């Protein structure tokens, strides 16, 4: 695992602290990791969905009518 340092506003810190309590996590950095992981995971699913739809569209256009 690699460590990085990020500067955030007080408002962001308060929001992360509220999210930490809501999710029952132990620290703000853990909340940030979870949120980033969820975001990246959902982005990957969206990209896969877009590609799958494009393939289906291509296949339907390729078929003779």
| Whole-prediction pTM | 0.62
**Residue-wise pLDDT tens digits, 15-42:** 999 999 999 999 999 999 999 888 888 7
Mean model confidence pLDDT for the chain = 85
Residue 63 pLDDT = 66
Mean predicted confidence (pLDDT) in 38-58? 78
pLDDT band at 47 (very low <50, low <70, confident <90, very high): confident
Residue 62 pLDDT = 72
| Start-to-end CA span in the chain (Å) | 54
Backbone conformation region of residue 6, classed left if phi is above 0, alpha if psi is from -120 to 50, else beta: beta
């Amino acid at each position: 695992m690699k460590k990085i340092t990020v500067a955030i506003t007080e408002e962001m810190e308060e929001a992360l602290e509220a999210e930490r309590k809501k999710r029952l996590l132990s620290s703000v950095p853990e909340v940030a990791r979870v949120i980033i992981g969820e975001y990246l995971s959902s982005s990957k699913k969206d990209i896969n969905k877009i590609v799958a739809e494009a393939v289906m569209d291509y296949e339907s256009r390729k078929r003779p009518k």
